[in-house]
Chain A
Amino acid sequence: MLYAETVDAEILVHKPRFIAGAFCVVFLILLMFNLPASGLGELMRPVIGEPSESGWFGRVAVSGVLALLFCANLVVIAFLPMRAQVLAVWLELLVLLLIFFETFDLSLPFILEKLPFLITQGLLTTVYISAISIMIATVIAVFGAVAKLSGNGFVFAIASFYTSFFRGLPLLMQVYLIYLGLPQLGIIVDAVPAGIIALSLCYGAYMTEIFRAGIQSIDRGQWEGARSIGFGFGLTMRRIILPQALPVIIPPTGNQFISMLKDSSLVSVIGVWELMFLARTLGQKTFQHMEMLIAVALLYWMLSIILEFIQSRIERHYARSKIR
Chain B
Amino acid sequence: MNKSGFSALAASVLIGFSALPAFAGEALDRIEAAKTLTIATDANWAPQSFLNEQNEMDGFDVDVGKEIGKRLGWEVNFITPGWDIITAGNWQGRWDMHVGSMTPTNARAEVFSFPAIYYYTPAAVVVHEDSSVTALSELNGKAVGVTTASTFEAYANQDLTLDVVDAPGLTYEFQPGEVKSFANTSTALDDLRLGAGVRLDGVISSLPSLLNAIEAGYPLVQLGDPIFYEPLAVAIELGDPELTDMIAGAIEEMKADGTLSALSVKWYGVDYSLAE
B51, B79, B85: which contacts A285 (Cβ < 8 A)? Answer: B51
CA distance A191 to B22 in the complex (A): 19
B43 within 8 A of A: yes
Number of A-B contacts (CB under 8 A): 83
Question: Interface size (A, Cβ < 8 Å)?
Answer: 31
CA gap between A269 and B52 in the complex, in Å? 20
Contact B186 A188 (CB under 8 A): no
Q: Does A121 contact B (CB under 8 A)?
A: yes
**B209: nearest chain-A partner, CB-CB:** A284
Minimum CB distance partner of B95 in chain A? A271
In the complex, are the beta carbons of A284 and B50 less than 8 A apart? yes
Other-chain contact of B94, A117, A176, A190, A277 (Cβ < 8 Å): A190
Indicate if B164 sits at the interface (CB-CB under 8 A): no
Chain B residues with Cβ below 8 Å from A186 are 23
Q: Are B81 and A270 in contact, CB atoms less than 8 angstroms apart? A: yes
CB neighbors of B among A65-94 (8 A)? none
Contact indicator A181/B16 (Cβ below 8 Å): yes
Q: Which residue of A lies closest to B45 (CB)?
A: A284
Contact of A185 among B14, B20, B47 (CB under 8 A): B20
Interface residues of A in 176-195 (CB under 8 A from B): 176-177, 179-181, 183-186, 188, 190-191
Is there a chain A Cβ closer than 8 Å to B92's Cβ? yes
Are B90 and A269 closer than 8 Å at their CB atoms? no
Contacts of B52 in A (CB 8 A): 285
Proximity bits, B174-194, A CB within 8 Å = 1, else 0: 000000000000100100000
Taking the complex as formed, is B247 at the interface, i.e. its CB lies under 8 A from any CB of chain A?
Answer: no
Can you add 13 more A-B contacts, CB < 8 Å, to A184-B90, A284-B46, A285-B51?
A113-B53, A114-B55, A117-B55, A180-B90, A188-B94, A270-B85, A273-B80, A280-B44, A282-B55, A284-B45, A285-B50, A285-B52, A287-B189
Which 8 pairs, one residue from A and one from B, show the smallest C-beta to C-beta distance? A184-B17, A271-B81, A287-B216, A183-B92, A285-B46, A271-B80, A281-B43, A117-B55
Interface of B with A (CB < 8 Å)? 9-10, 13-14, 16-17, 20, 22-23, 43-47, 50-53, 55, 79-82, 85, 88, 90, 92-94, 186, 189, 212-213, 216-218
Chosen A-B contacts, 20 in total, with CB atoms closer than 8 Å, are: A113-B53, A179-B85, A180-B88, A184-B20, A184-B90, A188-B23, A270-B85, A271-B79, A277-B43, A281-B44, A281-B80, A282-B55, A284-B45, A284-B51, A284-B186, A285-B52, A287-B186, A287-B212, A287-B217, A289-B186
